[in-house]
Structure 1
């Protein structure tokens, strides 16, 4: 028996919502690293990495709005894990990039197992937001 489902959102709507959420997440992520705000210790420790992975998820949704959301989640998690594991590689040129502000924000500075948990939580938050905004793939599944 076929159950009617809600119409899928247009790629344009997926992109718009993803972009707006990405800007908000980016602002909150940068604020979470601010030493001038007295964040609760748990938030100050883990929010930045969690929000970073959520931002990766949202940017991938923006770039590929018609891809199935689980594919986007897998790609975001794989990318996040790859960046974290790349921190085990300490080439002088790469460390020079990591010493810059953009390099530190994108590539991180040192490997931590807890970051992998944060990345997983961030991507799961992205899946939750996609469900809340009904941002499934904009093309019907075959």
Structure 2
């Protein structure tokens, strides 16, 4: 399986699982419902950077994902009207979030770490010839 395809598929899976974690939060265990969405968002960012930087190292993708995710979270401290209008749309809220929370920074690091582990262990096996 081509490497770019597996990362594109991982992005799509993260989006689906992340949206599902929000949609079905009432039937998920509280810990999962509370933390999974942000972790999956950060995992999606990691796999997106892997897709774009396929020939770069895993550390490059992980660090860039952390910087990007933290920048998005800290941007939530900006209260200009134009960005609030963007955040009040469905897509804007999904990408930029609604409000700054320190715990989101931990969730992002955990999500990126999980994605890195999946990349190291699981996705490499998919692309190896049998």
State the 1:134 CA deviation.
2.9
Q: Deviations over 1:79-106 (max 9, x none)?
A: 0000000001110000000000000000
TM-score by length of 2: 0.90
TM-score by length of 1: 0.83
Tell me: CA distance 1:36–1:120, structure 2 relative to 1, closer, same or farther (3 Å): closer
**Which structure carries more relative contact order (alpha carbon 8 Å, separation 6+)?**
1
Alignment partners' CA distance in 2, 1:36 and 1:49: 13
Moved runs in structure 1, 4+ residues, more than 6 A? none
Task: Find the counterpart in structure 2 of residue 101 from structure 1.
Answer: 90
Alignment partners' CA distance in 1, 2:120 and 2:2: 14
- Three-state SS of the structure 2 residue aligned to 1:134 is helix
State the 1:20 CA deviation.
1.1
Greater fraction of residues in helix: 2
Match of 2:109 among 120, 129, 133: 120
Task: Find the counterpart in structure 2 of residue 56 from structure 1.
Answer: 45
Q: Which runs of 5+ in 2 are unaligned?
A: 126-130
1:1-142 matches, within 5 Å, as 13-35=2-24, 37-132=26-121, 133-134=123-124
Q: Deviations over 1:27-53 (max 9, x none)?
A: 000001115751111111110000000
State the 1:13 CA deviation.
2.3
Alignment partners' CA distance in 1, 2:4 and 2:117: 16
Larger Rg: 1
